[in-house]
Amino acid sequence: MLLAVGGIVVMSRTTPGFVDLTAPFVSQGEPGEWVNTRTFGVRVDKPYLVRMLRQERFGRVEERTTGGVWVIVKVDAVAIHHPGMIGAFAIETREGKRYQHTERIRLPSQVGLLGRELQPEMPVPALLVFEVPENQIMDLTLIAGEREIPHLTSEARIPLRWSTPSPAIRDSVDLST
C-alpha cells in the first residue's frame, strides 16, 4: 500500500501538467529573417516607438495617446501550404507579461493583418500596433500565433531589436499615409 501511494506521489510530481502537454509548437528567429511555423511565416522588418498616433477616419483626424508608448512593428506574413490566417499577435516583456495587439487603432485592411487571409508564396506587408509601458520597452519579443489561446497550435517568436541602446521615441506618426 505504501509503495502504491509513493508511486502516485512520484507520478503526480513528474507528469507534465495540462499547460505543458498542450503548449504551442514554437519557432524562433531573428528580425529580418523569415520565421516559419507549420502554417504561416512571419518576418519582422522594423519596430518603432511613438507617443501619439494620428489617423484619418471618416474625413476627420483622430489622435490617440497612451499611458505608455505605442510600439509599431512592420512585418511581412505568408501562409505556408494552404490559405490561412494569423489569429493573434502579442508583445512579451522580459518578465513574461504579454500585451495584445491593440484594438484602439483600426487599421485599413490593406495595412492590418488580423482577419486577413494569407496565401502561400504571396507575402503580405502589414503594421501591428501595441501599447506598452515605457519602462518595459527593452527586451520585447513579438509573438504571432494561429489563435489567441495557443493550445497545440503554431507560434512564432521574434525579438524586437532597437538600433541604439536607448531607443528613440517619436512624438507622433500618421497612420493614414
Residue ranges of domains in the chain, CATH in brackets = 24-174 (2.60.40.1240)
pLDDT of 49 = 96
For 120-150, the pLDDT digits (tens) are 999 999 999 999 999 999 899 999 998 767 6
pLDDT of 155 = 92
Cell of 149: 489561446
Q: Which residues of the chain have pLDDT under 70?
A: 2-12, 18-23, 109-110, 148, 150-152, 177
pLDDT of 177 = 65
Q: What pTM was computed for the model? A: 0.85
